[in-house]
Amino acid sequence: MKVLAVTFDSLQVVPLYFIVKRVTHSSPSALLASYSLLSVRSDYQMLSWGGYANIAGLLFICALAYSVMADRPILSGIFTAAVALTHHLSFLLIATVLAAYYALVLYRKRTIPRTLVGITVGGAAAYLVFYRFAMFPIVDFYSKFSPTYNQSLYVTPYILEQVGVLLILSAMLGIGAFFAWSGCKSVEGRELLLIWAIVPVMLAYAYLFGAQWHGVRWIHFIPMPLTVWTGIGIGYLSTKRIVFLVFFVAFTIQLILTLQGYHLDILRNVAQP
C-alpha cells in the first residue's frame, strides 16, 4: 500500500507541471514548481502516519484543477468522481473551491461552462455509487466529532513546519509578480488558482470565527496551490538564469532539511512496545 501511495505522491508533479506551463508557457518554471513540491514536508509526514487517501486526493484535486482550466468536461467529471470516492475531506475542499469559482464565472459570463456539467455528472455518479455516506453527514462528522483543543497554539506553527516559510514567501512573490506583470490581461483560470490557494488557509483558521473542527488537517491542502503560484512567479521573474539558480539552490537546501525531518516523523509514528 505504501508503494501505491508513493506512486500517487510522485504523480502529483504531472498535473502541477501542466498547470504552470499553461499559465507561464515556460517549461523551466513548471519543472522548478514541481521540484519545489518535493521540498515540502507535508506529504512526507502524511506518508509516515498512513495518510494514503489524503495523498491520492491531492493528486486528483490537482488533475481536476488542470481539467477545469483546460476546459475538459469529461476529465473534469472523472476526476470529480475520483476525489469524491477517494477522500471525503479532499472532496469537501475542492467542492468549496469550485462552488466559489463557478459562482464567479456564472456571474461574469452568464453561461454554464461545459466543465460544470461534467463536474455535476461526476459528482452525482459518485454520490449514487457511495450514497450511504452522503456529503452532509460527512460535514456534520467533521464539524461535531473533531477533537477539541486550543487550535491557536497549533495551526500557525504547524503551517510553518509542514508548508515552510520558503514556499509561503515564494508563493506570495509569485502572486505579486503575476498581477504586476500580467496587468489587466485575462489568464483563463486565474480565479480558480487564487481561490484554491485561499480556501485551505481560511479553513485552517476557521477557529477564529468560532468553527471547531480539526483545523490542522486542512493545512495539508495548502502546499500544492502555493507551488503553482511559486512556478508562476518564477515564470514572470525569470528574465535571467540567476533567478532559476537561486530558487533551485533554495529549494534543494529545503529538500535536504525536509528529508532529515522525515526520518524524525517516521520515528515519532512508530508504535511503541
Helix 165-182 with 241-269: angle, nearest 10 deg: 150
Residue 143 contacts residue 211 (beta carbons within 8 Å):
yes
- CA-to-CA distance for 169 and 253, rounded, in angstroms? 15
Q: Are 206 and 146 in contact (CB under 8 A)?
A: no
Kindly report the pTM of this predicted structure.
0.85
Q: Where are the domains of the chain?
A: 2-269
pLDDT value at residue 158:
83
Residue 124 CA to residue 241 CA, distance in Å, equals 48
Widest pairwise Cα distance in the chain: 62
Cα(266)–Cα(273) distance, integer angstroms: 15
Cell of 175: 502572486
- What angle, rounded to 10 degrees, do the helices at 223-237 and 241-269 form? 160
Nearest residue to 230 via CA among 10, 33, 31? 33
- How many Å from the N-terminal Cα to the C-terminal Cα in the chain? 24
Query: What pLDDT, on a 0 to 100 scale, did the predictor assign at position 135?
Result: 52
Q: Cell 514567501 maps to which residue? A: 169
pLDDT number for residue 243: 80
Question: The cell 491531492 sits on which residue?
Answer: 58
Dist CA 215 CA 222 (whole Å)? 12
What is the reported pLDDT for 271?
44
pLDDT by 10s per residue, the chain, length 273: 677 878 888 899 999 999 999 988 888 899 999 999 988 888 888 887 778 888 999 999 999 999 999 999 999 999 999 998 888 889 989 999 999 999 999 988 888 999 999 999 999 888 887 755 555 555 555 555 555 556 666 788 888 888 989 999 999 988 888 887 765 455 667 889 999 999 999 988 888 887 766 667 888 999 999 999 999 988 877 666 788 888 899 999 988 888 876 555 544 444 444
pLDDT given at position 111: 87
Sequence-separated (6 or more) residues with CB below 8 Å from residue 220: 42, 43, 46, 51, 54, 58, 162
From 123, 23, 125, select the one nearest 70 (Cα to Cα): 23
